[in-house]
Amino acid sequence: MDPSAQLSTEKMPILPSHFPTQNAILSDKGGGPGPEMSAQKMNRPGSSPVIRALRAIVFFFAVLAIPYIRWGSETVPGDRTSHRHAKLGPVSPNETSEYCPQAEPLLPIKYAGLAKRLDAIYADEEFKLAAYKRLSGAVQVPTESYDDLGLVGIDPRWDTFGKLHEYLEEVFPKVQTLEVVKVNTYGIVLRWQGSDPSLLPVLLAAHQDVVPVEPSTAKDWKHSPYSGHYDGTWIWGRGSCDDKSDLTASLWHAITALIEQDFKPTRTFVWAFGFDEEASGSEGAGHIAAFLENEYGTNGFAALLDEGGYYSAPYGPAVIFGMPSIAEKGYLDVRIEVSTAGGHSSVPPPHTAIGLLSALLVELEAHPHTPALVRGGSPYNTILCGATYGPSFPEPLRQLAFQAPHSDAALDALRDAVLAANPRLLGAVLGTTQAADVVAGGVKVNALPELASALVNHRIAQHERVADVQAHIAGVVLPVARRFNLSVDAFGEQLNVDGGGGGHVRMTDAFGTALEPSPVTPTGKEDPYHVLAGTIKATLESAVGYNASGVVVAPQLILGNTDTRYYWNLTKHIFRYRHLGEKDVFNGAHTVNEAIRAQGWIETIRFLTKFILNCDEHL
């Protein structure tokens, strides 16, 4: 998943219609840290119930960020009182609550026999070993994606994707029976034409690229980063989790297995495989999006499924939470440049350009963006789901959560309690983040620097917009500029025009990739979301070894960005979910010892099969 380039659009986010809302501004963009504590630590002896619940909330949000190592806003109508008389939980996961509406488990009916046959095939050891081998082979092709890649056809580093295509065509030959289109050379679009052209198609996505392996860390891997080694439990290597597992699962189950069972879809299914999601996405998904919109038009797809959230049991093993993401944070990279007069370093001014830049950065870090728990926002809805269905959620916090829809005091107290549990992680969930990541300045030790610059990365919260972030930065920088007699160009607006004797400050969108928070996928009873939620429940409840008392589906905000940032025009119904549990990922993604639990990945194949069959039958 990629923290940089994003699609800029003015679409209005739509809040889930089942959740309480308030007049509020919402927005979102890019990747994040993995869970900071295990379930065992969360429930260790000696912890108070309140502390255990706060830790569970931390874990609940942390699971969202497992796949990511990097990471618009609208006024939304609402009603503070609409949930005052709802049942105040804890509620059985087999019941529904207006605080956290649930879909029923959804199994294919027309395709019940086919689904049963495929489940038997997926349980066969010979099938499993063949599937593991295919994923292993895909991992062995090092399709690394770099931020400084040139254009396709010019930069030779793209050539590795041609080798991956050759491999996929070799091990998945039946895919060639479908319509296969190459977009911008290495983007793959597959089309399985349905029998009824009046039905909107469904789009499934994954990406072919992986983040590079830092050479100095290769020795720290249990198995070589591109070995694809299967040790009987885990499949090791870069991309095993993010995202070649989804890529090969889609090809194997969604195409090869279904073709072999003579499946003939009524609805058209399309697969889109980008190849630079970990960089900017512009060469891959950016071109694919234009191709698909030209083919199918705006809102031409019924639904889209891409990588995203996991499932977990953050409040104990009794209840499993499926956590699809229905929104993403926004994104902004700001370049701050300070220019001053040069000269010999033997006669320096009180502050060089580097010193002035440092003062600006210190001031920005001293004034972070304010986290907010906004009614109707995704984090707010997530907490309500935990309070409603979390068995270990203690009554004091549960009551705060249930009072929050109609009490500002309770909402503020709930926000403070959540932030106290883990200010860094949950501050990132509830607020816009800023990180000064790159600094440059000076050319020689005896020459005063005439230019110093910094890049500051922002992930924009649901309650803010790009313009809000820019205004915040300008407001922090201006007093410092006045103190040092600097003129200011803040995103094209001239400030402190009487200054300038000490130099000049210029702030810009560094790469022109600013992105508003994404539209929010609708979750109404008649929306495609319920096909997804029902499929998640049915797949988990039918899994071998399932012993929980129920499954809850809780929609989330994702802290990273997927290729879906380019697909906003294609459908309002965008789901970011991969069917894996936190125990199926060895060490997260984008780090050493990336590995996927092989049996858990088989469950991904089962889920994707049921999702396709359910979309064909129930959507």
User: For residue 610, how many C-alpha atoms fall within 13 Å in the half-sphere facing its CB?
Assistant: 29
DSSP 267: S
What residues contact 120, with CB distance under 8 A and at least 6 apart?
A: none
User: Beta 234-236 vs 595-597: how paired, if at all?
Assistant: antiparallel
Alpha helices in 367-510 (DSSP H): 378-389, 395-403, 408-421, 423-430, 466-483
The catalytic position among 246, 277, 283, 616 is 277
Say how many C-beta atoms besides its own lie within 10 A of residue 88's C-beta.
Answer: 17
Geometric angle at alpha carbon 583, from 428 and 613, rounded to 5°: 95
Q: Annotated catalytic, 209?
A: yes
Give CA–CA dist 573/521, Å, rounded: 5
Q: How far apart are CA 556 and CA 310, in angstroms?
A: 10
**Cβ distance 18 to 82 under 8 Å?**
no
What is the three-class DSSP state of 245? Answer: helix
Do the annotations mark residue 472 as ligand-binding?
Answer: no
Distances (CA, A) of 518 to 189, 285, 565: 24, 16, 7
Q: What is the DSSP string of 409-430?
A: HHHHHHHHHHHHH-HHHHHHHH
Phi, psi of 129 (to 5 degrees): -65, -40
State whether the Cα torsion 364-367-371-374 is positive or negative.
negative
Residue 144 CA to residue 317 CA, distance in Å, equals: 37
Residue of 2, 74, 209, 603 marked catalytic: 209
Which of helix, strand or coil describes residue 607? Answer: helix
CA 107 → CA 111, 259, 342, 372, distances in Å? Answer: 9, 20, 71, 39
Q: Which two tokens stand for residue 47?
A: 């912890």
What is the spatial distance between Cα 99 and Cα 82, in angstroms, rounded to a whole number? Answer: 10
CA–CA distance, 305 with 319 (Å, rounded to integer) = 24
Tokens of 205: 């996505």
Query: Does 242 show up as a binding residue in the annotation?
Result: yes
User: Pick from 156, 130, 123, 159: which is nearest to 142 by CA?
Assistant: 159
- Alpha-carbon gap, residue 570 to 306, rounded angstroms: 13
In degrees and rounded to multiples of 5, residue 435 shows phi and psi of -145, 120
In whole angstroms, give the CA distance from residue 573 to residue 566. 14
Q: Kindly give, in sequence order, each residue whose CB lies less than 8 Å from that of residue 107, ignoring residues fewer than 6 positions away.
A: 115, 538, 542, 610, 614
196 annotated ligand-binding residue: no
Q: Report how far residue 276's alpha carbon sits from residue 187's, in angstroms, rounded to the nearest whole number.
A: 9
Q: Is 287 annotated as a binding residue?
A: no
The answer to whether 223 is a known ligand-binding residue is no
Could you tell me if 577 and 63 are in contact, meaning their C-beta atoms sit under 8 angstroms apart? no
Active site amino acids: 209, 277
Positions at the binding site for Zn(2+): 207, 242, 278, 306, 590
Task: Could you list the residues known to form a binding site, using ranges.
Answer: 207, 242, 278, 306, 590
